[in-house]
Structure 1
Amino acid sequence: MNLHALARARAERGEPPVRVGLIGAGKFGSMFLNQVPTSPLQVTAIADLSPDRARAACRTVGWDDERINATAFLEDG
């Protein structure tokens, strides 16, 4: 069983989502962010050299304002 299946089973039992942080919202980070809304994960923080670009990446992949506002954006460096 992989992490996604374990997290989905946890959500089906009514348990809180698995909370994760992301380091870097560039190309590969954005691919991950694109899949978050359809997964049982909650991104609580994103560290990036440019928090504004990280917010823009979230918008680009379709995150709504509620999800963006619930995420902490930290400057990495």
Structure 2
Amino acid sequence: MEYYLDSVSRAICALSAMTVLGQHNRQIRRRIECALKVGVTPRQILEVFVNLILYGGYINSRTSMPVARSVFTDQSLTV
């Protein structure tokens, strides 16, 4: 199969979908870790959540932000 989206774009799409669907923190955490591995920056991850406030609801986006901060802290990343 030929892919037309790069790894970063696919990771952002997956993280967006899981956030909007209100997935458990464990699953969001795993998506964030995978996104970081393929080159999504911490700032881009937080921006995804900010943009999803309008589309996926405040609660789902707001719930994901502390999970992201925890991953960043665990990996010694700064935003």
- TM-score, normalising length from structure 1? 0.39
Q: Between Structure 1 and Structure 2, whose CA radius of gyration is higher?
A: 1
User: Of Structure 1 and Structure 2, which has the larger fraction of its residues in helix?
Assistant: 2
User: Of Structure 1 and Structure 2, which has the larger fraction of its residues in strand?
Assistant: 1
